[in-house]
Amino acid sequence: MRPRVIAAVLAGGVGSRMGAPSPKQLLPLEGRPIIEHSVAAFEACPEVDEILVLMVREYVGRVEDIVASAGFAKVTAVLPGGGTRTDTSYAALSAMGGAADTDLALLHDAARPLVRPATISACVAALGEAGAVGVAVPSADTVVRVAPGRTGGEAVAQVPPRSELRRMQTPQGFRLGVARRAYALATADPGLVATDDCGVVLRYLPGEEVRIVPGEEDNIKVTNPGDVEVAETLLRRARARAVLAEADS
């Protein structure tokens, strides 16, 4: 029997860098809220069985309305998120309590509305071989480690080989047993600091391989003012490509 695939769309953030009056995942992108685009990708992915959405508590009702009017049949619950992204991930995993350790959890930033169903499918396929996977892309820029400068400001301390570096995106996927073991250790650690879920597995289960799934440059995280316009341009370009591909076939 194939494992059940449960996706969680993480939308518990308030979007302080965006500075909009409501959380950025509610901003319109080509006429639909950003979060609707993100959920739609999972709804359209044939391998995904169920979707949970974790939203800033006071906007849970708003997202329930979005889910109802979009007719997302796979969404089984809209739940409140936590105080940090890691808290929201943990709340998502806790809400999957009825699932087996062999079932699969996919955690995705609501703020990445351009994720493609094919990328989600690739994560599910990779979880057939590894207990943890994360979508990532190479960096076109040289990435440096910095330290406080001798003359003030910051200075370059190290230039890691760029060929060994990737920029992590989401989705990030896990066999539930792996995510549960990692998060049980992480939440017991008072020094826990994490910026993504693969990092939690790497840190707390060092023996577990975290496999990279090649991603797409346009799976951007809408973060700062101006990013919605960039996402709109990328979305229009992707639509135009799809129309051309359809016409060619």
Ligand X SMILES: Nc1ccn([C@@H]2O[C@H](COP(=O)(O)OP(=O)(O)OP(=O)(O)O)[C@@H](O)[C@H]2O)c(=O)n1
The reply on whether position 227 binds ligand LQXTBERG by CB under 6 A is no
Sign of the dihedral defined by the CA atoms of residues 68, 26, 235, 214, in that order: negative
* Smallest separation (angstroms) from ligand LQXTBERG to the CB of 248: 33
Bridge partner list, 158? 145
80 binds, among ligand LQXTBERG, ligand X, none (CB under 5 to 8 A by kind): none
Q: Could you give the residue ranges of the DSSP H alpha helices within the chain?
A: 34-43, 60-70, 85-95, 117-126, 176-187, 197-204, 227-248
Distance CA 82, CA 84 (A): 6
Q: How far is CA 72 from CA 38, 49, 178, in A?
A: 12, 12, 28
Contact flag: residue 181 with ligand X (CB under 6 A): no
Among 37, 85, 108, 180, binds ligand LQXTBERG (CB under 6 A): 85
Q: Report how far residue 60's alpha carbon sits from residue 79's, in angstroms, rounded to the nearest whole number.
A: 7
Q: Which stretch binds ligand X (CB under 6 A): 14-22, 45-53, 70-78, 183-191?
A: 14-22
Give me the least distance between CB of 26 and ligand X, in Å please: 10
> Does position 86 bind ligand LQXTBERG by CB under 6 A?
no
Q: What is the β-pairing status of strands 104-109 and 32-33?
A: unpaired
Residues in contact with ligand LQXTBERG, counted by CB under 6 A, come to a total of 8
| Interstrand relation of 132-138 and 166-175 (parallel, antiparallel or unpaired) | antiparallel
Closest CA to 50 of 216, 176, 196: 176
Shortest CB 196 distance to ligand LQXTBERG, Å: 4
168 binds ligand LQXTBERG (CB under 6 A): yes
When the beta carbons of 79 and 89 are compared against ligand LQXTBERG, the nearer one is 89
SS3 228: helix
- Does the footprint of ligand LQXTBERG cover residue 74 (CB under 6 A)? no
Q: Is 4 in the site for ligand LQXTBERG (CB under 6 A)?
A: no
Instruction: Report the nearest approach of ligand LQXTBERG to the CB of residue 9 (Å).
Output: 13
The number of residues in the chain equals 249
- Which of ligand LQXTBERG, ligand X, none is residue 168 near (CB under 5 to 8 Å by kind)? ligand LQXTBERG
Alpha helices of 1-76 — where are they, by DSSP H? 34-43, 60-70
- Residues 125-144 as b or e (16 or more Cβ within 10 Å = b): ebbeebbbbbbbbeeeeeee
Least gap, CB of 249 to ligand X (angstroms): 34
171 counts as binding ligand X under rule CB under 6 A:
no
Footprint of ligand LQXTBERG (CB under 6 A): 85, 109, 168-170, 195-196, 221
Footprint of ligand X (CB under 6 A): 10-17, 25, 54, 81-85, 88, 109-111, 221, 223
